[in-house]
Structure 1
Amino acid sequence: MRNYSLLAIILLFGGILQAQEKKWSLEECVNYALENNISIKQSELDVELSDIEKKDAIGNFIPNLNAQATNAWNTGLTQNVTTGILQNQTVRNFSANATASLTLFDGLRNFKSLQRARLSRLASQYSLDKMKDDIALFVADAYLQVLFNKQNLEVLKAQNEVTQQQLDRTGELVDAGVLPEGDLLEIRASMADENQQMIIAQNQIRISLISLAQTLGIKDYETFDIEERDYDIIGNEMLDRSVYDIIERAKEERSEIKIAEANKDLAEQDVAISKGAYMPSLGAFFNYNTRESGQGRITGFSADGTFNTIGFVQETEQAVVTPNTVASVGAPLPFFDQLSRNDGFSYGFQLNIPILNGFATRNQVRRNEVAVKRAEFNLEQAELDLEANVYQAYTDAKGAYESYEAALAAAEAQEKAFQYANDRYDVGLTNAFDFNQAKVRYENAQREVLRAKYDYIFKLKVVELYFGVPVRDLKF
């Protein structure tokens, strides 16, 4: 038993260590965000609501069926349902009815409402697709920012090692009297500045990781980390295309245009639905009702020995009398017997013809027609915005690529200049200040290469999305 407990502890501890050591790739981050991001979940709820709206529209074609039952006690001066006489009493009455109704014609509003619900579902799906594209880009940008900060720290560490070597070398030369002590102080100052920059870089990594984790919806900030992988620049063929080809493809593929078109269709459908109110509506109905009472029933009549004069014979003036009778009241009939005897049916058709309703229908139609014009303007504006955005993204990507190539050339030149300054410093032909200046310029050139590289990768992916490449098919 002790061995089993020890094995369970080892497996649990190993699982915890493995979970802590997990490092996320960009693809994993994007896929996780698409499944767990709150904004995407909210958009999915909109799709779910549109499905419910569609079911509502389908339900309008189904007959309505309602049933009602009432069991009531009346106390005080009430009518005796058996004798018809008002008297103080307590009586129980039960009634039930069921009604079915069906709309046969309502100006095709039910049919057009179903079409609108389908369009609404489509618009919600387009909005969800756009949200996924936006979140995927946002995650990619945040991920590349973390990667840039990590590699920036590696550059600082590498340069710090060079500074440490120069510090040791300068200390030896100062002790030997070859270099002045000022050079040693200059190198130490540079070392202190680099240490501060590394601390800042570490903080930037931590902050960018937290930002990425929040975007993904991950709350374990302490153990969250990404793969330290160097992403290469691939897929430059997109920039070989004409920007106008990308714009035309974007108009066909992008959700922004599809959303605007769907909203325009929805507005036109609202006009058609509101116009249906001009037309008559026809419905059919069927009703079944029955009742039961706890009041006693009349079982017969008997004479009470008295007479009541009801008239006179004209010739003899002899009185005409009739005996007075008393009703015999017995127990009520059984419950189900009363229901079967007292039931009834009603059925028929109901026609409603709109004549005048204070211009409400006309104003609603005009209001919806204004909404159509607004949707048309929104569609036109969406196309213009998409053209501008694609053109901007295409120009930014080309400029980022040129900037990256220039940064590479500058870094290569600064590397040679630094190596030359390092060689001259080793033989005492330059001072520590000039050496540090050359090293700083080289460090900045390396950072600029990293910045330009990841800026170009991100902007290239933006262009690919506009061209219609699915989020999950983006290659990094």
Structure 2
Amino acid sequence: MAQKIVRALLFCCYCLPFSGNAQTDTTLAGLPQTWTLQQCIDYAKQHNIEVNTLRLAEKTDQQNILLARAAKYPNLTGATTQSFTNSQNANPVIGGFQTQSSFASNYSLNSSVTIYNGGYINNNIKQSEAQWKADQFNTAAMENSIILQITQAYLSILLAKENIIYLQDLLSTSQAQLKQGAIQYKAGSISRLNFVGLESQVATDQYNVTTARNTVRQNTLVLKQLLQLPSGYELQIIQPDTVATAPKVVETLDAVQQQAHDTRPEIKNSQLGIDIANYSLEKARAGLRPTLTGSGALSTGYSDNQSSAYIQQLDNNFYQRIGITLSIPIFNNRIGRTNVENAKIAIDQAKLNLKNTETTLSQQVEQAYINVLNAQAQYDAAVTQLNTNRETYQISGEQLRLGAITSVDYLLQKNLYIQALQQYIQAKYNALIGVKVYDFYKGTPVTID
């Protein structure tokens, strides 16, 4: 018996890892093998936790709209009571006490409807609808923020991968020169110092390639975490054949700022914040006005103490009531007036929030514009620097082959070329990211074509 138990436990332990892997495979089943930028954006908009949290707030708003609209209609409440009474009562005829039992039933319907309450219901409906629209714009603003983060992370990976390509080419060149140097060293054409310098350069180039690969892994992790992908998933992005360089001409700052103010969801959200505050003011003012309410009730009952039949009693005891109640606020310890004043303050605060949002957006667009100008100027300078250093590097390589310069002089030119190359790649992607961000503020979708 003990052996059977041990075998069963071992079998369960053996099966547990496979069930975990099956669950992980199910989670990763719908994910693409390689990702384009658009796939990353679409996935984040659909699965991001913060975005989905805001979408749940939108669903709550929709329920609040239905609740606000329902307040215009009458309510209806039904009630029934079934009671049994058992008591001892004095008998004046024969004396003493006797036990009496009775059964009774009561039925009622009650309804009320608000006829007038100073416009509170209508303003509450409008406020609920405005809140729903505001939360939709809030969700869109969050999506925009995530799109920019994902775009920057995606392009950072492309930058690092392109850097690897150039560094691997340099490594191949260094390895070829080392082989040639070994032949020259054995023949006595170069010194030991020059040969060791070539070995050192190969080691340095290998280190640079390794560092670039580490950068790709780190940047990929950043994108993976932005997408909130499972830890066990290996993210691979699609490397485009070419990455478009930044255009030389961009729209003027004033034009893009105006487009951003007209289209950006954070502005529309803040504008609706003023509308919401105005509706709150009208609701507060409604608290100072009379309220007219209609009500009605139907009820009947039955008791076995009566000799009449059940249906007859329900008919005899049938009760109807209809009425109108007018409630006029006269004095409520300044609660109503305070609510009105606080609502006015909330309107001023909402206006300040809009002003702050407009100012912040204008500053962001202006900063993006300056970033574009700076990045384009830096890119132009980097192109010139790269071309000059490439030519010098190529000439130095030929001179080294002919023995006209030492390896030390050659390595100096090569390091300058590597530095210029890395600055060029960085400047190219900085210019591209700058333009993408700047165009995004005016409503242009992000692409890398």
TM-score bucket (shorter structure): 0.7 to 0.9
Between Structure 1 and Structure 2, which shows a larger proportion of strand residues? 1
1:327-342 alignment runs, 5 A limit: 333-334=309-310, 336-342=311-317
Q: Does the residue aligned with 1:67 lie in a helix, a strand or coil?
A: strand
Larger Rg: 1
Q: 1:59 to 1:67 in 2, by over 3 A?
A: same
- Look up the match of 1:165: 176
1:291-322 deviation digits (Å, cap 9, x = unpaired): 233x443x5xxxxxxxxxxxxxxxxxxxxxxx
**Whole-angstrom CA distance in 2 between matches of 1:87 and 1:368:** 68
Could you tell me whether the CA contact under 8 Å between 2:81 and 2:106 is conserved in 1?
yes
1:172-183 alignment runs, 5 A limit: 172-183=183-194
Aligned pair 1:372/2:347, yes or no? Answer: yes
Aligned pair 1:125/2:100, yes or no? Answer: no
- Look up the match of 2:23: none
Could you tell me whether the CA contact under 8 Å between 1:403 and 1:452 is conserved in 2?
yes
1:72-471 alignment runs, 5 A limit: 72-76=83-87, 89-219=100-230, 221-229=232-240, 230-233=242-245, 235-237=247-249, 239=250, 241-293=251-303, 295-297=304-306, 299=307, 333-334=309-310, 336-469=311-444, 471=445
**Whole-angstrom CA distance in 2 between matches of 1:227 and 1:340:** 82
Q: Does the residue aligned with 1:179 lie in a helix, a strand or coil?
A: coil
1:115-145 deviation digits (Å, cap 9, x = unpaired): 1112111211111221121111111111001
**Whole-angstrom CA distance in 2 between matches of 1:20 and 1:376:** 44
Deviation at 1:402, TM superposition (A): 1.2
1:32 is aligned, of 30, 43, 62, to 43
- Look up the match of 1:309: none
Q: Does the residue aligned with 1:284 lie in a helix, a strand or coil?
A: strand
Q: 1:339 to 1:149 in 2, by over 3 A?
A: farther
Deviation at 1:73, TM superposition (A): 3.5
Could you tell me whether the CA contact under 8 Å between 2:267 and 2:357 is conserved in 1?
yes
Q: 1:463 to 1:96 in 2, by over 3 A?
A: same
Could you tell me whether the CA contact under 8 Å between 2:37 and 2:447 is conserved in 1?
no
- Which residues of structure 1 form unaligned runs of 5+? 1-17, 81-85, 300-331
Aligned amino acid, residue 333 of structure 1:
A
Could you tell me whether the CA contact under 8 Å between 1:209 and 1:221 is conserved in 2?
no
Deviation at 1:96, TM superposition (A): 2.1
Aligned amino acid, residue 394 of structure 2:
Q
Deviation at 1:289, TM superposition (A): 1.2
Aligned amino acid, residue 284 of structure 1:
G
What RMSD in Å do the two structures reach over aligned CA positions?
A: 2.5
Q: How many residues align?
A: 416
Q: 1:435 to 1:274 in 2, by over 3 A?
A: same
Q: 1:211 to 1:87 in 2, by over 3 A?
A: farther
Deviation at 1:44, TM superposition (A): 1.4
Could you tell me whether the CA contact under 8 Å between 1:95 and 1:289 is conserved in 2?
yes
Q: 1:77 to 1:226 in 2, by over 3 A?
A: farther
Deviation at 1:41, TM superposition (A): 1.2
Could you tell me whether the CA contact under 8 Å between 2:297 and 2:322 is conserved in 1?
yes
Q: 1:158 to 1:290 in 2, by over 3 A?
A: same
Could you tell me whether the CA contact under 8 Å between 1:249 and 1:467 is conserved in 2?
yes
- Look up the match of 2:57: 46
**Whole-angstrom CA distance in 2 between matches of 1:91 and 1:433:** 117
Q: Does the residue aligned with 1:264 lie in a helix, a strand or coil?
A: helix
Percent identical residues: 22
Could you tell me whether the CA contact under 8 Å between 2:137 and 2:269 is conserved in 1?
yes
**Whole-angstrom CA distance in 2 between matches of 1:21 and 1:120:** 37
1:419-462 deviation digits (Å, cap 9, x = unpaired): 12111211222222222222222122222222111111111111
Could you tell me whether the CA contact under 8 Å between 2:244 and 2:448 is conserved in 1?
no
Moved more, 63-72 or 387-396: 63-72
Aligned amino acid, residue 95 of structure 1:
N
**Whole-angstrom CA distance in 1 between matches of 2:381 and 2:351:** 45
- Look up the match of 1:322: none
Aligned amino acid, residue 159 of structure 1:
L
Deviation at 1:251, TM superposition (A): 1.4
Deviation at 1:408, TM superposition (A): 1.2
1:73-109 deviation digits (Å, cap 9, x = unpaired): 34556999xxxxx975554432221111111000001
Could you tell me whether the CA contact under 8 Å between 1:21 and 1:223 is conserved in 2?
no
Q: 1:90 to 1:164 in 2, by over 3 A?
A: farther
Could you tell me whether the CA contact under 8 Å between 1:20 and 1:223 is conserved in 2?
no
Q: 1:179 to 1:346 in 2, by over 3 A?
A: same
**Whole-angstrom CA distance in 1 between matches of 2:31 and 2:168:** 25
**Whole-angstrom CA distance in 2 between matches of 1:107 and 1:204:** 65
Q: 1:72 to 1:405 in 2, by over 3 A?
A: farther
Aligned amino acid, residue 39 of structure 2:
E
Deviation at 1:222, TM superposition (A): 4.1
**Whole-angstrom CA distance in 2 between matches of 1:19 and 1:441:** 47
**Whole-angstrom CA distance in 2 between matches of 1:54 and 1:152:** 54
Aligned amino acid, residue 233 of structure 1:
T
1:349-380 deviation digits (Å, cap 9, x = unpaired): 11111011110111111111111111111212
Deviation at 1:36, TM superposition (A): 1.8
